[in-house]
Amino acid sequence: MRINGVEIEDTFAEAFGIKMARVLITGATPHWARVAAQEATGFGTSIIMCPAEAGIEREVGGDETPDGRPGAYIMICHMSGKELENQLLARIGQCVLTAPTAAAFNGLLDAEIQYDTGFKLKFFADGYEKEDTIGGRRVYRIPMMQGEFIVEHSMGAVSGVAGGNFFILAKNQMAALMAAETAVSAISRLEGSITPFPGGIVASGSKVGANKYKFMKATTNEKFCPSLRDEVETMVPPDVEAIYEIVINGICPDAVEKAMRYGIMATTKIPGVVKITAGNYGGKLGKYKMHLKEILR
């Protein structure tokens, strides 16, 4: 299969279940909503060594928020529901409650799992909190130096999907990077998915375990390293000098597949992109298989 001259490998991305909370942060302006969202989702690329996987889903106008102010949806993910709840509390408490003009609303009203994060945060008000309703949402008003912080009682979470992915193989590092950037931009307009790595992009790429340093749980995937082409049994095509991966977490398989489709389509417009493939473990480990050909049909 070829799209705009780019080869699409006949393979699939293998993805896993993950617990995922969604929060809507609003602010006085889009800038200030973004500031809170960025701080709250930082240090959140991979649960291998980050305390959570997190990212900004997309920005919304005031016509889509309970308080009529511009906002940004964020997602926070963890394998453990208990740890997810802790991360929600810590990230909203430390990075949204403290952020200028920010408010935090439930991003998954209808989800079965509802954490009472707002209720827990109200204790910061030391008895001066007031309960109220904004746009039909049950919120607490917490007096602060800037005025007040508004937080909804509950924050919803679902069993979502982690590790949706595709790989961009290009003639040159800069072509691969620009393709990755435009893919992430395309995905950032969509509902229900995040790309948790820095700028949405993975520059490394890992295999489980190690050949030499046996104490390592994950090491570089030498078969996909262009500079090791002559030293190992390589998977890097001859005309490829660089590869970036886009990792996608989403609230459901459809959201991940839509993100993959929009992201891949965007990459095929960048001169120098040679091939798109995806990462899997032979289908043995993950709950979900996203076949590139089906997604792009």
* Candidate ranges 15-23, 118-126, 150-158, 283-291; the one touching its own copies (CB under 8 A): 118-126
Query: CB 109 → its own copies: shortest distance, Å?
Result: 22
106 lines the binding site for its own copies (CB under 8 A) = no
Nearest to 42 by CA among 94, 85, 82: 94
Which residues, 161 to 200, sit near its own copies by CB under 8 A?
167, 171-182, 185-186, 189, 197-199
Q: Which one of residues 206, 249, 277, 280 is an interface residue with its own copies (CB under 8 A)?
A: 206
Query: CB 270 → its own copies: shortest distance, Å?
Result: 6
- 144 DSSP β-pair partners: 147
270 lines the binding site for its own copies (CB under 8 A) = yes
Euclidean distance between CA atoms 129 and 132, whole angstroms? 10
The answer to whether the CB of 69 falls within 8 A of the CB of 103 is yes
- 164 DSSP β-pair partners: 248
Residue 191: Cβ within 10 Å count: 13
- Closer of 186 and 256 to its own copies (Cβ): 186
230 lines the binding site for its own copies (CB under 8 A) = no
Query: CB 162 → its own copies: shortest distance, Å?
Result: 15
- Closer of 92 and 111 to its own copies (Cβ): 92
Instruction: Report in angstroms the alpha-carbon separations of 13 from 35, 50, 244, 283, 294.
Output: 32, 23, 15, 9, 12
**DSSP annotation string for 127-175:** T--EEEEETTEEEEEEEETTEEEEEES-EEEEEEEEEEEEEEEESSHHH
**Number of chain positions touching its own copies (CB under 8 A):** 111
* Candidate ranges 84-92, 106-114, 156-164, 289-297; the one touching its own copies (CB under 8 A): 84-92
82 lines the binding site for its own copies (CB under 8 A) = no
- Closer of 32 and 288 to its own copies (Cβ): 32
Which residues, 33 to 72, sit near its own copies by CB under 8 A?
35-36, 38-46, 48-51, 54, 61-63, 67-70
Residue 94: Cβ within 10 Å count: 12
Q: Which one of residues 18, 88, 102, 157 is an interface residue with its own copies (CB under 8 A)?
A: 102
- Closer of 70 and 192 to its own copies (Cβ): 70
Extract the tokens encoding 151: 């937080």
Extract the tokens encoding 59: 């920005």
For the chain, helix (H) and strand (E) counts, in that order, are 6, 17
Which residues, 133 to 162, sit near its own copies by CB under 8 A?
142-149
